[in-house]
Amino acid sequence: MRNALIGGTLVAIAAGVIGYFVVVRGTAFAAHALAHIGLPGATGAVLLGLPVTLGLAVFCVGGAIVIGALGRRAGDREVATGTVLAFAVGLGLYFSSQATRSSSTMTNVLFGNLLAISPQELVVFAAFLVGVVAVVCAVFRPLLFASVDERVARSRRVPVRALSVLFMVLLGLVVTMSVQVVGTLLLFALVVTPAATAIMLTPRPGRAIALALVLNLLSVWAGLVVATMFSLPPSFCIVTIACTIWLVVRLTGRSRQVQL
């Protein structure tokens, strides 16, 4: 439980920071795509007797570099990306079927299992988090500029293409972490939903990131507590809380947006 709490906290912070840019850049589908590309990495790693996190990271970051190099909107080329995803998930299933302790890994990757997080993974996640936060701080303004419009940013000599690849690599790392918490199928609710909620609540970039982070922490912590109290799957509780907050903010949003 202690590991779950620490791991959940690390992931919540990383997902909150990167989620803001995912929403502003309009690459929500790319985040979704990376989670699915990670599946064969995870099940393949199990098949080869390697750590799941390693397999996930290699596939997510690899996929991220490809999507990033193709340009910002590549993740939203729906048919091509959807086809690649379907194949990736199929491949994940195949690897899983070849491995002996397959079904539990498969379920863990698809839906996450915060309670199965190991101390070694915590160390890796902490390193990922420090890396992600440090890089985002360093490139914050040019990344935001490039996210708003690539042409204008390029004309001002912002290295848009390099930033695009860099951002996708960061996203790949965050996806690797987040899959552990909520799984590939529910990842959207941790990486995209709280950031979208935060942006509905405030248009100020710094505040939106801080708020996304707080909402993520709230979802993960409260989710863990509720899951323990009622013996429910933690992923389900975390996702339910994040989505409920989003829904409430969205439904009550119109009236508030005017004064903010």
Partner 1 sequence: MIGPNGSGKTTLLEVLLGLLPVASGTVRILGQLPGETDAIAYVPQDYTAAAGSALRARDMVALGLTGTSWGFRRTTAAQWKRIEDTMRAVDAFEVIDQRLATLSGGQRQRVAIAQALVSEPKLLLLDEPLANLDLRNQREVISLLDRLNSTLGVTIIMVAHDLNPLLRVLDGAVYLLDGHAHYDTLNGVVDDALLTHLYGTPLHVVRTVQGDLFVRGE
Q: Which residues bind partner 1 (CB under 8 A)?
A: 23-24, 26, 137-142, 144-145, 148-149, 151-158, 199-200, 203-205, 208, 257
CB of 125 to partner 1, least distance (A): 22
* Backbone dihedral angles phi then psi of residue 258, each to the nearest 5 degrees: -65, -45
Task: Quote the tokens at residue 205.
Answer: 């970039």
Task: Tell me the closest approach of the beta carbon of residue 208 to partner 1, in angstroms.
Answer: 7
C-beta separation of 151 from 141 below 8 A:
no
Quick count: other Cβ atoms within 10 Å of Cβ 149?
11
CB nearer to partner 1: pick between 123 and 148: 148
In terms of CB distance, is 83 or 204 closer to partner 1? 204
Tokens of 25: 């850049």
Q: How far is the CB of 88 from partner 1 (least distance, A)?
A: 29
Neighbours of 230 (CB within 10 A): 8
For residue 242, the minimal CB distance to partner 1 (Å) is 19
Q: Is 221 exposed, middle or buried (0-12, 13-18, 19+ CB in 10 A)?
A: middle
Instruction: Tell me whether residue 148 or residue 232 sits nearer to partner 1 (CB atom).
Output: 148
Residue closer to partner 1 by CB (options 231, 259) is 259
